[in-house]
Amino acid sequence: MLGNFCYSNPTKLYFGEDSLDQLGGELQNYGKNVLLCYGGGSIKKSGLYDQVVSILKANGKEIFEDPGVMPNPTVEKLYEGCKRAKEGKVDLILAVGGGSVCDYAKAVSVSTYCKEDPWDKYYLRMEDVDNPIIPVGCVLTMVGTGSEMNGGSVITNHEQKLKIGHVFGDNVFPKFSILNPRLTFTLPNYQMIAGFFDIMSHILEQYFSGEDDNTSDYLMEGLLRSLIHSSKIAVQNPTDYEARSNIMWTATWALNTLVAKGKSTDWMVHMIGQSVGAYTDATHGMTLAAVSLPYYRMILPYGLAKFKRYAINVWNVSPDGKTDEEIASEGLDRMEAYMKELGLVMNIRDLGVTEDMLDGIAKGSFIMDGGYKTLTYEEIVSVLKESMKG
Ligand code: NZQ
Ligand code: ZN
């Protein structure tokens, strides 16, 4: 049965090849000073930086540059961004980049006028925002996180070996996001496929929980089928616009809060993957890929009915003459074959994990209880060890 919920998503999305044309109109809604956040240089290489700067200038904006947002943005970078935003008294934070830049922009948005250490308040203690917020807009260049239409903001603290995501409320969602699938064509293959798996993982984290008959599970099966279909095309031909645009839209729906409404969710793959990321700084989607199958194979007996449904409805496994366990396992085997076909990393060792890190990674994995089995510390270690065998 669907639980009670309120659904609202305040982000205005502009989608398609011409969507950047809408940036000028959106800029009219904000004051003069704009913090322009971007990553390590991909937008300069692609020419997007010049396009955005000329739109900002044509609209009379004063630009405060905030470059160098790294993948898995750090708390030190956050402090630096807050300083810049405060000095510039910025009226808008414009994130141009992938999930890391969008997440970072949201972190700067809530932290600039925070009276105490934002890491302690918003990440360690997960408190609600009670200080002024700077509005955020996004021009997305990498597909996967859903950050363009949600309140998620993940920050890494290397000193404390913690990578933590705060899911902020509606007021922190980007006010607008511009999604042009063509901007993703320049992504290196490794980032592209990592993003594809991030999308799959977001859907599975919300799917593998609960056994009710609800609309969300049907929506998620449709999103998964679309993703599997289009990602196979995209790895062969990365400039296939139809495939890349379908994937971009699927990524947004996978984590814009809709499919989680009224149902429970899991998120243990992300908790373990993020802890792997805190130790290795590895690409987010690859950390998820490397721990997913060991985790799902471990919890399969506790959620057998759903794993069977997944095998049949998503992977077209024929149930004829097979036990429920056989059907469910065949679904995960097909998922494994698909992951290998994409070229995903299946072993945390390949991400830089060594035996001496396992205890710390397991301890840094926050244990969630929405899935089919609440894991123990020992079980997390065993998921990690299993991944190291692969
Ligand atoms: O820094 P630049 O030079 O721009 O290069 C980036 C970066 O190296 C490159 N890139 C992005 N767009 C490109 C491009 N290169 C060429 N052409 C383009 N069009 O790709 C690299 C990775 O970018 P990044 O933004 O780090 O990737 P992603 O979008 O996967 O974001 C990862 C971060 O998002 C968090 C992750 O934990 C991680 O910190 N997440 C955020 C979530 C949310 N907000 O809800 C949920 C996710 O589960 C995830 O945890
Ligand atoms: Zn993710």
pLDDT at 70: 98
Q: Terminus-to-terminus CA distance in the chain, angstroms? A: 38
More confident residue, 211 or 102: 102
pLDDT at 134: 98
Q: What is the distance between the alpha carbons of residues 144 and 194, in angstroms, rounded to a whole number?
A: 8
Nearest CA to ligand 1 atom 14: 187
Q: What is the distance between the alpha carbons of residues 268 and 128, in angstroms, rounded to a whole number?
A: 23
Nearest CA to ligand 1 atom 42: 145
Q: Return the best residue to mutate from 11, 38, 42 for the ligand 1 pocket (most ligand atoms within 8 A of CB).
A: 42
The ligand with the least distance to the CA atom of 238 is: 1
Q: What is the per-residue pLDDT across 297-344, written as a single tens digit (0 to 9) for each?
A: 999 999 999 999 999 999 999 999 999 999 999 999 999 999 999 999
pLDDT at 3: 84
Distance (angstroms) between ligand 1 centre and the Cα of 39 equals 9
Distance (angstroms) between ligand 1 centre and the Cα of 99 equals 4
H or E element that contains 66? strand 62-66
pLDDT band at 390 (very low <50, low <70, confident <90, very high): low
The size of the chain, in residues, is 390
Q: Return the best residue to mutate from 103, 157, 196 for the ligand 1 pocket (most ligand atoms within 8 A of CB).
A: 103
Nearest CA to ligand 1 atom 8: 71
Q: What is the distance between the alpha carbons of residues 296 and 379, in angstroms, rounded to a whole number?
A: 12
Average pLDDT, integer, range 114-133: 98
Ligand 1 atom closest to the CA of 41, numbered from 1: 3
Does the predicted TM-score (pTM) go above 0.75? yes
Nearest one of 119, 85, 100, 92 to 27, comparing CA atoms: 92
- Pocket-forming residues, ligand 1, beta carbon under 6 Å: 39-43, 71-72, 97-101, 103, 141-142, 144-147, 150, 152-154, 165, 183-184, 186-187, 191, 195, 198, 255, 270, 284-285
pLDDT at 213: 87
pLDDT at 320: 98
pLDDT at 50: 98
Q: What is the distance between the alpha carbons of residues 233 and 211, in angstroms, rounded to a whole number?
A: 32
Ligand 1 atom closest to the CA of 167, numbered from 1: 45
Nearest CA to ligand 1 atom 39: 72
| Mean per-residue pLDDT of the chain | 97
Q: What is the distance between the alpha carbons of residues 390 and 387, in angstroms, rounded to a whole number?
A: 5
- Which residues does residue 97 pair with via DSSP β-bridges, in sequence order? 140
Distance (angstroms) between ligand 2 centre and the Cα of 202 equals 6
Distance (angstroms) between ligand 1 centre and the Cα of 354 equals 25
| H-type alpha helices, 284-368 | 284-299, 304-315, 324-342, 358-363
Q: What is the per-residue pLDDT across 44-59, written as a single tens digit (0 to 9) for each?
A: 999 999 999 999 999 9
Given a contact cutoff of 8 angstroms between Cβ atoms, the answer to whether 21 and 185 are in contact is no
Q: Return the best residue to mutate from 9, 141, 280 for the ligand 1 pocket (most ligand atoms within 8 A of CB).
A: 141
Tell me the C-alpha to C-alpha distance, in Å, between residue 209 and each of 94, 122, 151, 183, 328: 36, 27, 22, 34, 15
Nearest CA to ligand 1 atom 49: 145
The ligand with the least distance to the CA atom of 195 is: 1
Ligand 1 atom closest to the CA of 69, numbered from 1: 1
pLDDT at residue 215 tops 90? yes
Least confident of 3-7, 125-129, 317-321, 335-339: 3-7
Q: Return the best residue to mutate from 199, 274, 284 for the ligand 1 pocket (most ligand atoms within 8 A of CB).
A: 284
The ligand with the least distance to the CA atom of 144 is: 1
Q: What is the per-residue pLDDT across 228-279, written as a single tens digit (0 to 9) for each?
A: 999 999 999 999 999 999 999 999 999 999 999 999 999 999 999 999 999 9
Distance (angstroms) between ligand 1 centre and the Cα of 89 equals 27
Ligand 1 atom closest to the CA of 194, numbered from 1: 30
The two tokens of residue 245 are: 């645009």
Q: What is the distance between the alpha carbons of residues 250 and 144, in angstroms, rounded to a whole number?
A: 9
What is the DSSP code (8-state) at residue 28? T
The ligand with the least distance to the CA atom of 142 is: 1
pLDDT at 245: 98
